[in-house]
Amino acid sequence: MIKTKMFTDLINGIDPSVQINRWLDKHPDYIIVDVKFQSSVVGADDSVNYSVFRDALVIYREYENV
């Protein structure tokens, strides 16, 4: 069965790639099918202040010993 999990740096400020690696260390029986990274820039048009948010969607499945 294919499953998905979303990682973002909005909650704890840790890069999504680091979060994914930590998650995989805890779940060695997961097989990664694909990873989709995205960056979003948020800021006012007339302002030089802006924020960049990164997130990643991991598509995975559990190892099945058939």
Structure confidence by residue, pLDDT tens digits, 15-35: 999 999 999 999 999 999 999
Q: Give residue 46's pLDDT.
A: 64
Residue 11, SS3 per DSSP: coil
pLDDT at residue 1 greater than cutoff 80: yes
Strand residue runs (E) in the chain: 2-8, 30-43, 50-62
pLDDT at residue 52 greater than cutoff 90: no
* 1: CB partners within 8 A, 6+ apart: 61, 62
Cα–Cα distance measured from residue 50 to residue 15, given in angstroms and rounded to the nearest whole number: 18
Asked if 55 and 5 count as a contact pair (C-beta separation under 8 A), the reply is no
Average pLDDT of the chain is: 87
Q: Total domain count for the chain?
A: 1
Report, in angstroms and rounded to the nearest whole number, the Rg of the chain calculated over CA atoms.
Answer: 15
Q: Give residue 66's pLDDT.
A: 58
Residue 12 domain boundaries: 2-62
Q: Give residue 10's pLDDT.
A: 82
